[in-house]
Protein backbone atom coordinates (compact mmCIF):
# COMPACT_ATOMS: atom_id res chain seq x y z
CA UNK A 1 0.00 0.00 0.00
CA UNK A 2 1.19 3.52 -0.87
CA UNK A 3 1.22 5.77 2.22
CA UNK A 4 1.76 9.40 3.16
CA UNK A 5 1.07 11.63 6.18
CA UNK A 6 -0.84 14.85 5.74
CA UNK A 7 -3.03 17.56 7.12
CA UNK A 8 -6.56 17.35 5.74
CA UNK A 9 -8.08 20.64 4.67
CA UNK A 10 -11.48 21.78 5.86
CA UNK A 11 -14.36 22.10 3.38
CA UNK A 12 -14.15 25.90 3.11
CA UNK A 13 -10.45 25.94 2.31
CA UNK A 14 -10.82 22.99 -0.04
CA UNK A 15 -13.59 24.85 -1.89
CA UNK A 16 -11.44 27.98 -2.23
CA UNK A 17 -8.55 25.94 -3.62
CA UNK A 18 -10.86 24.00 -5.96
CA UNK A 19 -11.84 27.34 -7.53
CA UNK A 20 -8.15 28.06 -8.17
CA UNK A 21 -7.72 24.61 -9.72
CA UNK A 22 -10.73 25.26 -11.99
CA UNK A 23 -9.17 28.55 -13.10
CA UNK A 24 -5.86 26.81 -13.85
CA UNK A 25 -7.71 24.12 -15.81
CA UNK A 26 -9.50 26.75 -17.92
CA UNK A 27 -6.25 28.53 -18.79
CA UNK A 28 -3.97 25.52 -19.31
CA UNK A 29 -3.44 23.78 -22.61
CA UNK A 30 -2.88 20.54 -20.68
CA UNK A 31 -2.20 19.19 -17.21
CA UNK A 32 -3.27 16.82 -14.47
CA UNK A 33 -5.30 18.69 -11.86
CA UNK A 34 -5.85 17.76 -8.23
CA UNK A 35 -9.40 16.66 -7.44
CA UNK A 36 -11.02 18.80 -4.72
CA UNK A 37 -11.33 15.85 -2.34
CA UNK A 38 -7.60 15.12 -2.73
CA UNK A 39 -6.31 18.59 -1.77
CA UNK A 40 -4.09 18.25 1.31
CA UNK A 41 -0.82 19.37 2.87
CA UNK A 42 1.74 16.56 2.84
CA UNK A 43 3.93 16.17 5.93
CA UNK A 44 5.85 13.07 4.82
CA UNK A 45 5.68 10.65 1.90
CA UNK A 46 6.36 7.01 2.81
CA UNK A 47 5.76 5.27 -0.53
CA UNK A 48 5.01 1.57 -0.82
CA UNK A 49 4.63 0.01 2.65
CA UNK A 50 3.69 -3.33 4.14
CA UNK A 51 1.65 -4.00 7.30
CA UNK A 52 4.76 -3.81 9.50
CA UNK A 53 5.58 -0.36 8.12
CA UNK A 54 1.96 0.75 8.53
CA UNK A 55 2.15 -0.17 12.21
CA UNK A 56 5.54 1.59 12.51
CA UNK A 57 4.08 4.77 11.01
CA UNK A 58 1.21 4.73 13.51
CA UNK A 59 3.70 4.18 16.33
CA UNK A 60 5.72 7.21 15.13
CA UNK A 61 2.55 9.32 15.00
CA UNK A 62 1.63 8.34 18.54
CA UNK A 63 4.97 9.63 19.84
CA UNK A 64 4.05 13.18 18.85
CA UNK A 65 2.38 15.68 21.13
CA UNK A 66 1.31 18.99 19.60
CA UNK A 67 -1.13 21.79 20.31
CA UNK A 68 -3.69 23.01 17.76
CA UNK A 69 -2.35 25.77 15.52
CA UNK A 70 -3.48 28.00 12.67
CA UNK A 71 -2.43 27.16 9.13
CA UNK A 72 -2.53 30.06 6.68
CA UNK A 73 -2.65 29.46 2.94
CA UNK A 74 -1.55 32.32 0.72
CA UNK A 75 0.00 32.83 -2.66
CA UNK A 76 0.72 30.51 -5.53
CA UNK A 77 3.81 29.30 -7.28
CA UNK A 78 5.34 26.69 -9.50
CA UNK A 79 8.07 24.12 -9.42
CA UNK A 80 9.45 24.18 -12.94
CA UNK A 81 9.61 20.66 -14.30
CA UNK A 82 10.34 19.04 -17.60
CA UNK A 83 7.05 17.90 -19.07
CA UNK A 84 5.02 20.67 -17.43
CA UNK A 85 5.09 22.59 -14.18
CA UNK A 86 3.74 21.66 -10.78
CA UNK A 87 1.49 24.48 -9.53
CA UNK A 88 0.97 24.91 -5.79
CA UNK A 89 -0.72 27.06 -3.16
CA UNK A 90 1.69 28.43 -0.58
CA UNK A 91 1.71 28.13 3.19
CA UNK A 92 2.68 31.11 5.32
CA UNK A 93 5.68 30.55 7.59
CA UNK A 94 4.41 28.64 10.61
CA UNK A 95 6.76 27.51 13.37
CA UNK A 96 4.22 25.01 14.74
CA UNK A 97 3.83 23.34 11.34
CA UNK A 98 7.58 23.14 10.82
CA UNK A 99 8.07 21.66 14.31
CA UNK A 100 5.33 19.07 13.70
CA UNK A 101 6.88 18.03 10.39
CA UNK A 102 10.42 17.94 11.82
CA UNK A 103 9.35 15.87 14.84
CA UNK A 104 7.31 13.52 12.65
CA UNK A 105 10.26 13.01 10.29
CA UNK A 106 12.53 12.26 13.26
CA UNK A 107 10.11 9.67 14.67
CA UNK A 108 9.62 8.06 11.25
CA UNK A 109 13.38 7.76 10.75
CA UNK A 110 13.67 6.15 14.18
CA UNK A 111 11.11 3.61 12.98
CA UNK A 112 13.33 2.82 9.97
CA UNK A 113 11.76 4.94 7.24
CA UNK A 114 14.01 6.57 4.66
CA UNK A 115 12.58 10.00 3.92
CA UNK A 116 13.55 12.64 1.38
CA UNK A 117 16.61 14.60 2.47
CA UNK A 118 15.63 17.90 0.87
CA UNK A 119 14.34 20.69 3.07
CA UNK A 120 10.60 20.59 3.71
CA UNK A 121 8.73 23.26 1.73
CA UNK A 122 5.07 23.17 2.74
CA UNK A 123 2.68 23.58 -0.18
CA UNK A 124 -0.60 22.22 -1.52
CA UNK A 125 -0.31 20.72 -4.99
CA UNK A 126 -2.95 22.10 -7.36
CA UNK A 127 -1.82 20.27 -10.48
CA UNK A 128 1.07 18.59 -12.26
CA UNK A 129 2.40 18.62 -15.81
CA UNK A 130 0.61 21.91 -16.40
CA UNK A 131 1.33 23.82 -19.57
CA UNK A 132 0.09 27.36 -19.12
CA UNK A 133 0.87 29.88 -21.86
CA UNK A 134 2.84 32.84 -20.49
CA UNK A 135 0.10 35.29 -21.50
CA UNK A 136 -2.46 33.25 -19.49
CA UNK A 137 -0.62 33.51 -16.17
CA UNK A 138 -1.55 37.09 -15.35
CA UNK A 139 -4.47 37.71 -13.03
CA UNK A 140 -4.73 34.18 -11.69
CA UNK A 141 -6.90 34.15 -8.62
CA UNK A 142 -5.14 33.24 -5.42
CA UNK A 143 -6.21 32.04 -2.03
CA UNK A 144 -5.74 33.71 1.31
CA UNK A 145 -7.38 31.61 3.98
CA UNK A 146 -6.69 29.83 7.23
CA UNK A 147 -7.84 26.85 9.22
CA UNK A 148 -7.03 25.45 12.59
CA UNK A 149 -5.01 22.23 12.56
CA UNK A 150 -6.29 19.83 15.20
CA UNK A 151 -4.99 16.59 13.70
CA UNK A 152 -3.01 14.94 10.95
CA UNK A 153 -3.62 11.70 9.12
CA UNK A 154 -1.94 8.61 7.75
CA UNK A 155 -3.34 8.24 4.25
CA UNK A 156 -3.39 5.49 1.66
CA UNK A 157 -3.21 6.47 -2.00
CA UNK A 158 -4.65 4.10 -4.59
CA UNK A 159 -6.25 4.10 -8.02
CA UNK A 160 -9.87 2.99 -7.93
CA UNK A 161 -11.48 2.94 -11.34
CA UNK A 162 -9.30 5.48 -13.08
CA UNK A 163 -9.44 7.86 -10.14
CA UNK A 164 -6.77 8.61 -7.55
CA UNK A 165 -8.37 8.04 -4.15
CA UNK A 166 -7.03 8.86 -0.69
CA UNK A 167 -8.28 6.95 2.35
CA UNK A 168 -7.59 7.88 5.97
CA UNK A 169 -6.09 4.92 7.84
CA UNK A 170 -5.27 6.65 11.13
CA UNK A 171 -5.70 10.07 12.71
CA UNK A 172 -3.48 11.67 15.36
CA UNK A 173 -5.23 14.43 17.26
CA UNK A 174 -3.67 17.47 18.93
CA UNK A 175 -3.59 17.82 22.68
CA UNK A 176 -6.43 20.08 23.74
Per-residue pLDDT band at 162 (split at 50, 70, 90): confident
pTM of the model: 0.91
Say what the pLDDT of residue 81 is.
87
Query: Residues 82-127: pLDDT tens digits?
Result: 889 999 999 999 999 999 999 999 999 999 999 988 899 999 999 9
Phi, psi of 39 (to 5 degrees): -70, 130
* Assigned fold of 2-173: Cyclic Phosphodiesterase; Chain: A, (3.90.1140)
Instruction: Kindly list the strands in the beta sheet with 2-8, ordered across the sheet, starting from the edge strand earlier in the chain.
Output: 40-48, 2-8, 151-160, 163-173
Closest CA to 44 of 90, 100, 94: 100
Instruction: Kindly list the strands in the beta sheet with 123-131, ordered across the sheet, starting from the edge strand earlier in the chain.
Output: 30-33, 123-131, 85-91, 69-79, 144-149
Per-residue pLDDT band at 145 (split at 50, 70, 90): confident
Say what the pLDDT of residue 142 is.
73
Query: Residues 29-58: pLDDT tens digits?
Result: 999 999 999 999 999 999 999 999 999 999
Say what the pLDDT of residue 100 is.
98
Amino acid sequence: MRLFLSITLNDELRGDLAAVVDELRRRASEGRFTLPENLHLTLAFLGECDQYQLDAAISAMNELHFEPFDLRIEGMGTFKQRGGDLWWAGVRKCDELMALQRDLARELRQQGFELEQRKYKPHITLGRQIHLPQHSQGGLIGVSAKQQVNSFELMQSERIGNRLTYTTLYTRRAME
